[in-house]
Structure formats: C-alpha cells, structure tokens
Amino acid sequence: MEEIIELLALLLVIGGLCIALPLIIVWLTNKRKNHEIDKKTEILMALLEKNPNLDPAEVLDKLDMPSEDGKKSLKEKLLEKLLGGCICTLIGIVLFFTHLFGFVFLGDKTKGVVGGGVLTAIGIALIIYYLVSKKMLQNEIETEEKRMTEQQISE
C-alpha cells in the first residue's frame, strides 16, 4: 500500500512539472502578450481620435519599440531555446543511461532513470519549440534582420 502511495505521489509531481507547469507558463505568456496588444490598440485608437490624419502603420512602428528584454533579437531568443534544449537532452540521456546500466549510482536507480527521462523530454520539447518557432516566425526574423541592417547602415 505504501509503495502505491509513493508511486502516485511521484506521478503527481511528474505530472505537475511536465503538464501543469508548462501550461501555466504558456497561459501567462499569452495573457501578457494580449495585454500588450490591448494597450497598443488603446493608444493607437486614442491617437487616431485626436488626429485622424496619422498613418496607422507609422504609429504602430513607433509603438513597436523594444521592451525590457528587447535587446535580444528574435533569432537570439530562439537560439537560446535550442541551446537549452540540447543541454537538457544531453544531460538527460547521460543521466538516464548511466543509471539504467548502473555505471553511476547516485541513490535509487529509478530516481536517476526518471530524472534522466524528464530532462530528456524537456530538452526534446525545447528543440521542437525551436524548430516550430523558426518555421512560423521566419518572415518576422527576416524583417527584423533587415531592420537591424538598415539601422546599422544609417548609423
């Protein structure tokens, strides 16, 4: 009976870390982005009400100033995800196989195998995130690179 409770507790922790935590992070990120979009829309509408002769595209370009983490380009952020994914995957695979085959023994064998599996899954998820984001945001990355080269030329 005690083993079943321990197994359920382990499954609950793993489920919370692998399912609930990523869902909460995605929800909070989307909520923050929606809030930013709502604020930009509110500002744009107020400006257009006061001066209907303004060009909305020009105003939106000026509103798209870099945020607090805007010093990094979109490409750099994606490359950081790829790096994190590769590191997690490599550490997870090493941890998984060293505990599975008994090369290294750091406590309970199942904890090492489960920990290695979780790290590998996180790493693979980050690599998939990088690949999907790169494909989806290809146009934005190209536009950002063109804008950066134009700024460097003008300076």
Residues 88-117 have pLDDT tens digits of 999 999 888 888 777 665 567 778 888 889
What is the number of other CB atoms lying within 10 angstroms of the CB of residue 8?
A: 10
- Give 47-74 pLDDT, tens digit per residue: 888 888 887 777 777 766 554 445 677 8
pLDDT in tens, 17-36: 788 888 888 889 899 989 98
Q: Around Cβ 126, how many Cβ atoms within 10 Å?
A: 20
pLDDT single digits (tens) 113-131: 888 899 999 999 999 999 9
Instruction: Classify 102 in phi/psi space as left (phi over 0), alpha (psi -120 to 50) or beta.
Output: left
Q: Could you tell me the two tokens for 17?
A: 């870390």
Cα-Cα-Cα-Cα dihedral of 89, 93, 95, 98, to 10°? -160
Kindly state the average pLDDT of the residues 75-96: 91
Q: Enter the tokens of residue 95.
A: 């941890």
